Structure 1
Amino acid sequence: MQQKVVILGGGESGVGAAILAKSKGFEVFLSDKGKLHDRYIEILRKEDIAFEQEQHTTEKILDADLVVKSPGIPDTVPLIVALREKSVPIVSEIEFAAGYTNARIIAITGSNGKTTTTLLTYHLLKNAGLKIGLAGNIGDSFAWQVATQQHDFYVLEISSFQLDNILNFHPEITVLLNITPDHLDRYGYDFQNYINSKFNIIQNQTDEDYLIYFKESEVIQTELEKRNPQVRRVEISLNETTIEGAYLSDGKLISTIKGETFEEDFDTLPIKGPHNAINAMAAISVARLLNIDHLKICEGLRSFKNAPHRLEIVEVIDGVTYVNDSKATNVDSVFYALGSFNQPVILIAGGVDKGNDYAQIEELVRNKVKGLVVLGKGPEKLVKYFSGIVPVIFETENIQEAVEKASEWAVDQDVVLLSPACASFDLFKNYEDRGDQFKAAVRNLVH
């Protein structure tokens, strides 16, 4: 009898999972409580995959032999609870797709920096001629690629939500950049639950696999001591020499892997700031574990273009540099952003606060920020915290007004930095929309 697979969520990952399930002979039904994008409706019809939108038909879903759940659906919703009570296996698209490929998997996670690291790793390996796919929390659906393409390697950006439903997922190389409080509303406001989710990435690794991690992360160090996983460790450090791994010394990225040393001047790279030194060292470490030629690595590092909304220079107007870091949706990201500049900063921050603790950036703000523009519907927490620390504070719900006020305060050699520390949903569709509106507002200054 044909097994029934139900896909919950009809976005990129859900439709990809449906296509893979159909190609493997399952009876497939896709259900989304929201409205499906026209493009996905067209694809599902073309593939003759049954689906529903703007509802969940409970009886049909509970009749599944396997459920592939969108990462955006929390485990606490009644439908998921009911499925668990019936002992129906629930997996993520990542878990489902990994079971149908023999490609070698490089999986990258962290509270911050994972997109840049994933893109850079993919760029280095693709530039070296590897047959490689890019997927996970970025790019085309992993399952879709497994169903329709042939790759020898995949570089996957993995979020904690995707790691919540992992059973057998087994990357050959994992990268764990950092773990700082984020998405705590999803994890019962218990940081340890979020940490556990991130560490799911190594749960199936063996002593033949590699874990690349940032040595200065106290959370990661504590967990490694507690868990003592049987995996080969590759350390990355900004402060210390590493025996097997990479470190930053006098502006040079130095990597020692398998007894061989690689060096590159960090200043020659198109990405800046200490957080990007960590990201670059992680990508270099992956490339070197896969025996990529040194010259190819250097070539790839210099030709890399980062994704938008990550310390993206928008314009330099009258000597003032306007920087879009809209992706900085938590305090840790802002810490790294402020650490990337030596010039005085006018900071634009605010939005939906996710339980932020601003103590982490207090000293940097005190030393670097000459003005704070609070952009958002609930400015009280930011204003209260930084009153008396920042010389001038301005509140607004209008991004053009925010940029104009920052421009009014700025002088030659200053940086106007949008690095919000908060989610964007009070005033914008998402962080991309916020970043795009910021860029448009900056460009309006010169018209």
Structure 2
Amino acid sequence: MDDCFHFRSNIAIMLNITRDHLNRYNNNIENYVNSKFRIAIFQHKNDILIYNYDDPIIRNGLKKFLLKSICIPFSIKKELNFGAYLKQDKIYIRNKKRLSKYLLKNISLSGDHNVYNIMASLIVSDILNVQRKSICSVIHHMTGLPHRMEKFFHMNGVLFINDSKSTNVHSACCALKSLNNPIIWIAGGKDKGNDYKDLIPLVSKKVKVMICLGTHNHNIYNFFKKIVNIILETNSMKQAVRMAYKYASQGDSILLSPSCSSMDLFKDYRERGNEFKKEVKQLFYE
């Protein structure tokens, strides 16, 4: 988006804007917001912007930029008179002509972030008149992507979850929020100017052990050292997995959800996630 000066999209979606990648924007959130909104500022009056009503940064951005397009909101927190909203495990899409309803029960994807993604996709499908039976079939047969809340292994009652694609605070929030059992959390990596304060309520309530994995753990370690009772650090995935399992009890989840870029120890999040899975399986064989 930084390099888009004329790009026009007929249908655009803004899922969220969080304090991410700020090292590329002089640690100025407004510069990042300006870049994100380029997806919409060149739209014409018959184009459509679908946006997350629950995101305050997006709502403020809509006041700042004079958009020509039709703006359609979606929310999991508020029943909207126009757009999509969540109510009792059902997604409703309301426009001037009709009210459509889709049941969310028994889908394999968990977490608010997945509900937001589904809502945005449903609005687009509704606009494009995709057949209802096709939409419902896809929703109820979707499976998660590798490295995104990938529940890939159980061992002695402990669940291992690979969420290596979580490279920012917002993603880690989604991961922690979606789990109800005690968590041993493996986090850290290359800090991109992260502000971890949004994680405090979730970490203090759900995380029993935190393991900081990275070459420079100073920021994340110091931030959470008074919030988590047990906090450890390492620059080895092998050691991180063994530390985590040492403190795990039956019913716990060991969650790799780094909240940071992988570029300090790994070439990308895929390599980090694959290394995590390899070390877990190696631990099992041992």
Q: TM-score normalised to the size of structure 1?
A: 0.62
For residues 264 and 316 of structure 1, do their structure 2 counterparts lie closer, same or farther at Cα, with a shift above 3 Å needed? farther
Aligned to 2:199: 361
Aligned to 1:315: 153
Deviations 1:104-125 (A, max 9, x none): xxxxxxxxxxxxxxxxxxxxxx
Pairwise CA distance, 1:236: 0.9
Pairwise CA distance, 1:303: 2.1
Aligned to 1:186: 24
Look up the SS of the partner of 2:165 in the other structure: coil
Aligned to 2:252: 414
The yes-or-no answer on 1:241 pairing with 2:79 is yes
Look up the SS of the partner of 2:284 in the other structure: coil
Cα RMSD over matched residues? Answer: 1.4
Match for residue 143 of structure 2 among 295, 305, 320 = 305
State the one-letter code of the partner of 1:306.
G
What is the aligned length? 285
Is the contact between residue 350 and residue 420 of structure 1 (CA under 8 Å) also seen in structure 2? yes
Pairwise CA distance, 1:415: 1.0
The yes-or-no answer on 1:205 pairing with 2:43 is yes
State the one-letter code of the partner of 1:307.
L
State the one-letter code of the partner of 1:370.
K
Is the contact between residue 262 and residue 294 of structure 1 (CA under 8 Å) also seen in structure 2? no
Match for residue 288 of structure 1 among 126, 130, 152 = 126
Look up the SS of the partner of 2:201 in the other structure: helix
Whole-angstrom distance in 2 between the partners of 1:371 and 1:196: 38
Q: Extract unaligned runs of 5+ from structure 1.
A: 1-162
Aligned to 1:433: 271
> Which aligned pairs between 1:129-144 and structure 2 lie closer than 5 A?
none
State the one-letter code of the partner of 2:65.
R
For residues 170 and 376 of structure 1, do their structure 2 counterparts lie closer, same or farther at Cα, with a shift above 3 Å needed? same
Look up the SS of the partner of 2:105 in the other structure: helix
Greater shift in the superposed pair: 326-335 or 257-266: 257-266
For residues 260 and 296 of structure 1, do their structure 2 counterparts lie closer, same or farther at Cα, with a shift above 3 Å needed? farther
Aligned to 2:106: 268
Pairwise CA distance, 1:327: 0.9
Aligned to 1:444: 282
Pairwise CA distance, 1:395: 1.1
> Which aligned pairs between 1:222-241 and structure 2 lie closer than 5 A?
222-241=60-79
Is the contact between residue 20 and residue 169 of structure 2 (CA under 8 Å) also seen in structure 1? no
Larger RCO (CA within 8 A; separation ≥ 6): 2
Is the contact between residue 19 and residue 195 of structure 2 (CA under 8 Å) also seen in structure 1? no
Look up the SS of the partner of 1:263 in the other structure: strand
Is the contact between residue 207 and residue 232 of structure 1 (CA under 8 Å) also seen in structure 2? yes
Whole-angstrom distance in 1 between the partners of 2:138 and 2:95: 18
Pairwise CA distance, 1:228: 3.2
Pairwise CA distance, 1:340: 0.7
State the one-letter code of the partner of 1:401.
Q
Aligned to 1:382: 220
Pairwise CA distance, 1:230: 1.8
Pairwise CA distance, 1:244: 2.3
Deviations 1:296-340 (A, max 9, x none): 100011222332111111112122111111111111111111111
Q: Extract unaligned runs of 5+ from structure 2.
A: none
Aligned to 1:216: 54
Structure with the greater alpha carbon radius of gyration: 1
Look up the SS of the partner of 1:421 in the other structure: coil
State the one-letter code of the partner of 1:355.
G
Pairwise CA distance, 1:204: 1.7
Whole-angstrom distance in 1 between the partners of 2:199 and 2:97: 38
Whole-angstrom distance in 2 between the partners of 1:351 and 1:167: 33
> Which aligned pairs between 1:61-76 and structure 2 lie closer than 5 A?
none
Pairwise CA distance, 1:258: 4.8
Segments of 4+ moved more than 3 angstroms: none
Identity of aligned residues (%): 39
The yes-or-no answer on 1:395 pairing with 2:241 is no
Look up the SS of the partner of 2:186 in the other structure: strand
Is the contact between residue 257 and residue 285 of structure 1 (CA under 8 Å) also seen in structure 2? no
Deviations 1:31-74 (A, max 9, x none): xxxxxxxxxxxxxxxxxxxxxxxxxxxxxxxxxxxxxxxxxxxx
Is the contact between residue 345 and residue 416 of structure 1 (CA under 8 Å) also seen in structure 2? yes
Look up the SS of the partner of 1:253 in the other structure: strand
Look up the SS of the partner of 2:209 in the other structure: strand
Is the contact between residue 111 and residue 174 of structure 2 (CA under 8 Å) also seen in structure 1? yes
Aligned to 1:252: 90
Whole-angstrom distance in 2 between the partners of 1:265 and 1:378: 45
